[in-house]
């Protein structure tokens, strides 16, 4: 079993992840999760999220991966006790004290050890397994060979999970002190400001010569404390599966629902193609163009293959690469409007909910699960009253347009053509 694990920062992102191919999602409650700036899930939302996921045959893992101080343990115990009737499929933890508390209060709960615990050796992996961990989320700093060695040293029942896409989050897999130092927002308590993405100018001052600072420039080998690039292992699905990675984790609980859908869909297509016929597997470059269509930094393969001195983490061009505009979500297929055919050779009339302005006459794409974007021309636009319109300028307005026949409720309509760039 090879699991595709996608982020779910809120219910909209959860639905996008499940619809576009995730086998499981990971998310946080309102406390003790490492992405406090995400919407996260309240006490009333979490049971509904679990039900939604389980009804579709998928899994849900709850992050409890901060490192609480002693005074927070009464609140932690109360929080964990409140989850006793919520059938999550596992909890992701970092701190040994949290691990022990879960074992005490929820003894049947599967526990996954977070990448925050910096598992970089077979010895560390076996130690966590001996304590009862059912899955290990490996440090991002490992090479493929090191992952393979950990897999060979472990009982087959203990699963390995690894990040395959998104922010590298260095300083041993997220245990970073920069955010706290610069802004007072603690990365290890869910409030990271991502200073590893900032642009820096370094200077050195000699105590007796403060008037002559020396600027420290990046050399041809790049930088080794920052992580300005994003990881993308989409081209390397076969190597990861053969190394024994059971769960492919996509980073990004604070990313958009569009991001979650597109990236999950691309990895789903690649994984399924390989598993169908490993011997005849051929990578489809269209999958890579999909992950290039979302907001991201330059891509790299992290530590999986490269010596960072050979392929530096430093971006050549600062900033993000712009994603294609997310126009709308399909709400109804085969909608009825007086005088407008529900279906013809040009496609099927659909009711949509606007996310960004869309204009008549433009190029667009339909993103449906298991396929790359399907191009089409926006030849018709109608308002809620059925009157023709030239654009959809109002946030979350309902409107109608004709889409390719493959359209279904929940599909995404986005800009077509090449409209990327840095911002």
pLDDT in tens, 109-127: 999 999 989 999 999 999 9
pLDDT in tens, 28-47: 987 776 555 556 788 889 99
pLDDT, residue 317, reads 60
User: Do residues 63 and 174 lie in contact, with contact meaning Cβ atoms separated by under 8 Å?
Assistant: no
pLDDT, residue 224, reads 45
pLDDT, residue 322, reads 78
pLDDT in tens, 240-286: 999 999 999 999 988 999 999 999 999 999 999 999 999 999 999 99
Domain 326-415 sits in CATH at: 2.40.30.10
377 vs 372: CA distance, rounded Å: 16
35 vs 186: CA distance, rounded Å: 11
Q: Which CATH architecture has domain 3-182+225-300?
A: Alpha-Beta Barrel (3.20)
Whether 323 has a pLDDT exceeding 60, the answer reads: yes
pLDDT, residue 29, reads 87
User: Do residues 102 and 85 lie in contact, with contact meaning Cβ atoms separated by under 8 Å?
Assistant: no
Q: What is the mean pLDDT of residues 365-379?
A: 97
> What's the chain's average pLDDT?
87
pLDDT, residue 246, reads 98
**Structural tokens at position 182:** 């610069």
User: Do residues 16 and 262 lie in contact, with contact meaning Cβ atoms separated by under 8 Å?
Assistant: no
CA dihedral 321, 327, 329, 332 (to 10 degrees): -160
Domain ranges, ordered by start, for the chain: 3-182+225-300, 326-415
User: Do residues 422 and 320 lie in contact, with contact meaning Cβ atoms separated by under 8 Å?
Assistant: yes
pLDDT bin (cut points 50, 70, 90) of residue 222 is very low
pLDDT in tens, 325-358: 999 999 999 998 999 999 999 899 999 999 999 9
Query: 371: closest CA among 275, 284, 248?
Result: 284
Q: What is the mean pLDDT of residues 57-86?
A: 94
pLDDT, residue 62, reads 96
pLDDT in tens, 85-104: 999 999 999 999 999 999 99
pLDDT, residue 183, reads 77
User: Do residues 68 and 76 lie in contact, with contact meaning Cβ atoms separated by under 8 Å?
Assistant: yes
**Structural tokens at position 17:** 């992840």
- 18 Cβ partners below 8 Å, 6+ apart? 25, 52, 53, 56, 58
């Amino acid at each position: 079993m090879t699991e595709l694990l996608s982020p779910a920062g809120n219910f909209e992102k959860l639905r996008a992840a499940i619809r576009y191919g995730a086998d499981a999602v990971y998310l946080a409650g309102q406390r003790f999760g490492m992405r406090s700036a995400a919407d996260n899930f309240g006490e009333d939302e979490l049971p509904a999220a679990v039900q939604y996921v389980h009804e579709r045959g998928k899994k849900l893992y709850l992050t409890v991966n901060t490192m609480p101080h002693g005074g927070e343990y009464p609140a932690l115990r109360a929080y964990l006790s409140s989850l006793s009737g919520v059938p999550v499929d596992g909890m992701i933890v970092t701190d040994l004290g949290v691990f022990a508390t879960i074992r005490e209060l929820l003894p049947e709960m599967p526990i996954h050890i977070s990448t925050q615990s910096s598992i970089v050796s077979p010895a560390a992996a076996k130690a966590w397994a001996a304590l009862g961990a059912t899955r290990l989320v490996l440090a991002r700093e490992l090479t493929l060979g090191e992952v393979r060695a950990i897999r060979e040293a472990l009982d087959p029942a203990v699963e390995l999970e690894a990040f395959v896409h998104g922010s590298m989050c260095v300083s041993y897999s997220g245990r970073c002190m920069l955010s706290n130092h610069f802004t007072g927002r603690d990365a290890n308590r869910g409030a990271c400001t991502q200073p590893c993405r900032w642009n820096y100018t370094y200077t050195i001052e000699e105590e007796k010569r403060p008037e002559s600072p020396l600027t420290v420039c990046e050399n041809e080998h790049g930088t080794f404390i920052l992580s300005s690039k994003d990881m993308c292992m989409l081209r390397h699905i076969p190597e990861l599966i053969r190394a024994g990675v059971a769960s492919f984790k996509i980073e990004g609980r604070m990313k958009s629902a569009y991001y979650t859908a597109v990236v999950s869909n691309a990895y789903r297509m690649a994984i399924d193609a390989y598993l169908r016929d490993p011997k005849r597997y051929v990578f489809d470059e269209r999958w890579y163009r999909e992950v290039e269509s979302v907001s991201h930094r330059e891509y790299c393969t992290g530590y999986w293959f490269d010596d960072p001195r050979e392929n530096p983490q430093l971006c050549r061009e600062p900033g993000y690469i712009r994603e294609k505009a997310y126009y709308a979500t399909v709400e109804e297929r085969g909608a009825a409007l007086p005088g407008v055919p529900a279906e013809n050779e040009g496609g099927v009339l659909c009711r949509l909910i606007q996310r960004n302005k869309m204009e008549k006459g433009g190029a667009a794409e339909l993103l449906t699960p298991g396929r790359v974007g399907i191009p089409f021309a926006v030849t018709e636009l109608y308002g809620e009253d059925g009157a023709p319109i030239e654009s959809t300028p109002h946030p979350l307005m309902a409107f109608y347009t004709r889409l390719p026949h493959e359209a279904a409720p929940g599909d995404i309509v986005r800009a077509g053509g090449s409209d990327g760039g840095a911002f």
